[in-house]
Chains A and B, each alone.
Chain A
Amino acid sequence: MSIPAGWQIDIGLEIHAQLNTQSKIFSGASTRFGQSANSQACAIDLGMPGVLPSVNAEVFVKAVQFGLSIGALINQESRFDRKNYFYPDLPKGYQITQMDHPIVLGGKITIETLDGTEKMIRVTRAHLEEDAGKSIHDFKPGYTGIDLNRAGTPLLEIVSEPDIKNAAEAVAYAKAIHQLLTYLEVCDGNMAEGSLRFDANISVRRQDAETLGTRSEIKNLNSFRFLEQAIHFETERQISVLEAGGTLVQDTRLFDPDRHETRSMRSKETATDYRYFPEPDLLPVMLTAEFIENIQAQLPELPGERAQRYQTAHELSASDAALLSQDRRLGDYFDQVLTSSSNAKSAANWVRGDLLSKLNEHDLSITACPISPKNLGEMIQLIDQGVISGKIAKEVFAALWSQQTESASDYVQKNQLEQVSDASAIEPLIDALIAENPKQAADLRAGKDKLMGFFVGKVMQATQGKANPKQVNDLIRKKLSEP
């Protein structure tokens, strides 16, 4: 959808990312997804009387990793607040969140816009909070079920400035956040399980207007597609209201993907007063400079830096570099392949090609890859050294994949797959072939180069593929040019 002439759109996203800690943010209960209802909710998650929260320190590590990765300021004094509202899946009647002292302040995310240029989206803040449970409406007629397994799952809410100007940029930004969070391994990024959810603040204004228009907040979009669609439908709605001479009210809306519309849940006037105040059950947490420096020191090379290195140090193409950098473990694998093979281009081809297609075929992640990077590197090295041919390499690769062998060199040795590079072993074969096929030999000598394939093929056949094709080629020419 293109934006109607004369209008511009301003979008700010609030992204709720579940941090992938083992236990919840304020209790020791497991965060595992998909368990039977209320089996992962302890007394603290249930909001029983007399229980108290205590913070899972792991959330600070993960939030700080994210903050440092986007160049944000880390708030060393982390405080929590209570956000008060009644809802059956909010057991305490308040959510513990960070209102006045978010752990992450500022920062930037780079995205690629529609015209292929780079653009910075400013992050306002990111703060820690607890997830609510789930209401399962009409789980039996007239009843709503409450599942509190999700209650207390740690969330990092990442709030952007309204720097996003269209749906494509919103999706690019959301995907960049998704990639970064999963790359840092602070969030599993599983959209289907709700690990990442978006709220979009959308407003429109005339092209020449200097201030932002009246915004609507579209809540709880749980896929990139819904995010994109919701922005389309909402901007269309707002523009049509304004073009018809109407006015907009600031409100909170729900996106209905089936009916392709957003519906108002509540207006600003009827908005809940959350009555924020400092959480008295938790003391402020002071993050030392040393704690932050340690995280900074242990921060992995980020995707952008990694792609840059692949292009400059290893002369990979931009697309190879980007592909190998998007997933941290894939990049790590690739880096390890490079420790035993110096041919980065060939390594990139093998990883991108044979390896990824095998992994996809078996629905495996790179960390579950049956071929160790060392073995793959060694195999590539064998090709480079002329020990095996590319053709034999396919066979070695298959053997490594099915784990029939300890290493590429073992397999090559055991099956005597070394290329026959000894001219004295090949020359008699060529002599015999020339003798057996005098017409073809004459034609080739006369310039019918197509026949070279015939001779090379015969030699390869005779050596069961172990001859070095280039060497065979050279030897045939040498033989034919002999008087």
Chain B
Amino acid sequence: MNLDFATLTDLQKALRNRAVSATELTQHYLTRIDALDPTLNSFISVQAEAALAAAGRADERFAQGDTRPLTGIPIAQKDIFCLQGQKTTAGSKMLSQFIAPYTATCSEKLAHAGAITLGKTNMDEFAMGSSNENSYFGAVHNPWDPQLIPGGSSGGSAAAVAAGLCAASTGTDTGGSIRQPAAMCGLTGLKPTYGRISRWGMIAFASSLDQAGPMARTAQDAAILLEHMAGHDPRDSTSLNEPVPRFSEGLDNSIRGLRIGVCREFFTEGLDPAVERSIREALAVYESLGATLVDISLPHTPYSVSAYYVIAPAECSANLARFDGIRYGYRCSDPENLQDLYQRSRGEGFGEEVKKRILVGTFALSAGYFDAFYARAQKIRRRIKEDFVNAFEHVDVIAGPTAPTPAFPLGEKASNPVEMYLQDIYTISASLAGVPAMSIPAGLANGLPVGLQLIGNYLQEGPLLQAAHQFQQATHWHSLTPPEAL
């Protein structure tokens, strides 16, 4: 069996059949990480010893027949999830030495289900970015072409799975940070309904938008992971007290009669023609599977980026105030007084993009500007939610491109924030509405993966994953791997 790009589902079988041991599998990935990650820079830290120890315990479980659903499956976790006793940096100098004293709920759940954490993946600092160029630990390179960005902010998690350095990974999505890198690296990435997965232990960027989710090779893999990440958590007041369905069951059901909304606002002038071609072809595949395409409008979509870039920075300006150099994290040397301690610790500890967003958010909340910015952005957000509620009265799923372009060269948009922010133009509205959305591989544009975004109604991850799985049964895009260069 070629382990490099095996799906999680195949690995579950192989482990259960004892075709491969957890130790062999873990060692296999660790070897690949050693070989390939110097080029990709997808990991901030690798816990080889702990992973091998966990693999040893997993093998004992297999020997005793006492296994759990994910026993022996090596995964990578975005370095935004706190793991007790391990360095958790959020891609920032501010936390470059921070050892978390607790474990994020969703990481705990994955560990409880038997998953092995190989290491923590690189990311845009505090999840702020769409290219993974904003990491204190350096940019991540796209396995499809190391000259290109992998997308962001969960770029390390995407690159690691795409390069076959782990079976799957965890990511977080605030405005597209799972879906856009999944699209650019040819993966299946799911941002569940807001509140589906606990945010406890996940370092906050924008609390009302942040949502964890799986990044995997297939919809089936994502469904299995979601089952073991989701669930109510009393430690997160915003987590939904809803039962967690067996998402991986029912994927094989036909989607005949599925009503797919094709949102006209997602096919606008910024969309790369090659990407659009792939998306249109994907929609044709759905028609051939018996789905009906329905032309719909989400009229407030054009305002989503503006609203997002008020709300997310506003929340981050408060969320990141705790990094003040007082109790933990980076502290400047020889502060002269309290003011100096604050200014230099934060000035030196945060990167440029983070500082920019804190400033924007602080401004948007200031006396005299609050109504014009924050209050208005919240109004738009409500309208965007209403758009979705209305749309889902007529359709089951909404489909469109995940990102306007395929992966672009490192440095290309680094100096143009507006162009960079437009990367999230199709993903942001689902974040603002809190509805589940995913990206699945839907073709190649100039040899690079194209992501098809599927958006579902609140708590309807099941039908969403089913639609994705059925597409993957009919196409091969998800099984493409990066060219041999690697």
Q: Which residues of A contact B (CB under 8 A)?
A: 43, 46-55, 82, 84, 86, 88, 91-94, 144, 146, 273, 275-277, 280-283
Pair A277/B365 contact, Cβ less than 8 Å? yes
With A50-B201, A277-B314, A281-B207 known as contacts, the answer to whether A43 contacts B237 (CB < 8 A) is: no
Contact of A54 among B80, B235, B324, B328 (CB under 8 A): B235
A53: chain B residues at CB < 8 Å are 237
Contact of A51 among B200, B234, B326, B370 (CB under 8 A): B200
B206: chain A residues at CB < 8 Å are 280
A93: chain B residues at CB < 8 Å are 318, 320-322, 324
A55: chain B residues at CB < 8 Å are 237
A144: chain B residues at CB < 8 Å are 338
- Give 1 or 0 for each of B306-330: 1 = CB within 8 Å of chain A CB: 0000000011011011111011100
A48 to B315, CA, bound (A): 16
B230 at the A interface (CB under 8 A):
no
Pair A43/B101 contact, Cβ less than 8 Å? yes
Pair A88/B88 contact, Cβ less than 8 Å? no
A143 to B177, CA, bound (A): 42
Closest Cβ–Cβ distance, residue A106 to chain B (whole Å) = 26
Pair A275/B365 contact, Cβ less than 8 Å? yes
A55 to B237, CA, bound (A): 8
Pair B238/A51 contact, Cβ less than 8 Å? no
Q: Which residues of B contact A (CB under 8 A)?
A: 80-82, 88, 90, 95, 98, 100-102, 104, 199-204, 206-208, 234-238, 314-315, 317-318, 320-324, 326-328, 338, 342, 362, 365-367, 370, 374
Closest Cβ–Cβ distance, residue A284 to chain B (whole Å) = 10
Pair A94/B321 contact, Cβ less than 8 Å? yes
18 cross-chain CB contacts under 8 A: A47-B327, A48-B100, A48-B102, A50-B80, A50-B199, A51-B102, A51-B201, A54-B235, A84-B365, A86-B321, A92-B322, A93-B318, A144-B338, A275-B367, A275-B370, A277-B318, A280-B208, A281-B204
A46 to B315, CA, bound (A): 19
Pair A50/B82 contact, Cβ less than 8 Å? yes
- Residue of A at shortest CB range from B367? A273
Pair B328/A92 contact, Cβ less than 8 Å? no
A-B contacts at CB below 8 angstroms, number: 104
B374: chain A residues at CB < 8 Å are 277
Q: Say whether chain A's binding surface is mostly helix, strand, loop, or mixed.
A: loop
A280: chain B residues at CB < 8 Å are 206-208, 238, 315
A25 to B479, CA, bound (A): 50
With A48-B328, A49-B88, A52-B236 known as contacts, the answer to whether A43 contacts B102 (CB < 8 A) is: yes
With A49-B95, A49-B98, A273-B366 known as contacts, the answer to whether A94 contacts B203 (CB < 8 A) is: no
Pair A92/B321 contact, Cβ less than 8 Å? yes
Closest Cβ–Cβ distance, residue A176 to chain B (whole Å) = 35
Pair A88/B321 contact, Cβ less than 8 Å? no
A53 to B238, CA, bound (A): 10
A91: chain B residues at CB < 8 Å are 322, 326-327
A53 to B234, CA, bound (A): 10
Residue of B88, B204, B318 with most chain A CB atoms under a 10 A cut-off? B318
The 3 closest A-B pairs by CB, nearest first: A93-B321, A280-B207, A275-B365
Residue of A43, A52, A55, A276 with most chain B CB atoms under a 10 A cut-off? A52
B101: chain A residues at CB < 8 Å are 43, 48
Pair B237/A84 contact, Cβ less than 8 Å? no
Closest Cβ–Cβ distance, residue B96 to chain A (whole Å) = 13
Pair B104/A50 contact, Cβ less than 8 Å? yes
A32 to B298, CA, bound (A): 53
Pair B370/A277 contact, Cβ less than 8 Å? yes
B200: chain A residues at CB < 8 Å are 50-52
A94: chain B residues at CB < 8 Å are 318, 321
Pair A50/B204 contact, Cβ less than 8 Å? yes
A73 to B54, CA, bound (A): 57
A49 to B203, CA, bound (A): 5
A281 to B203, CA, bound (A): 12
A55 to B366, CA, bound (A): 27
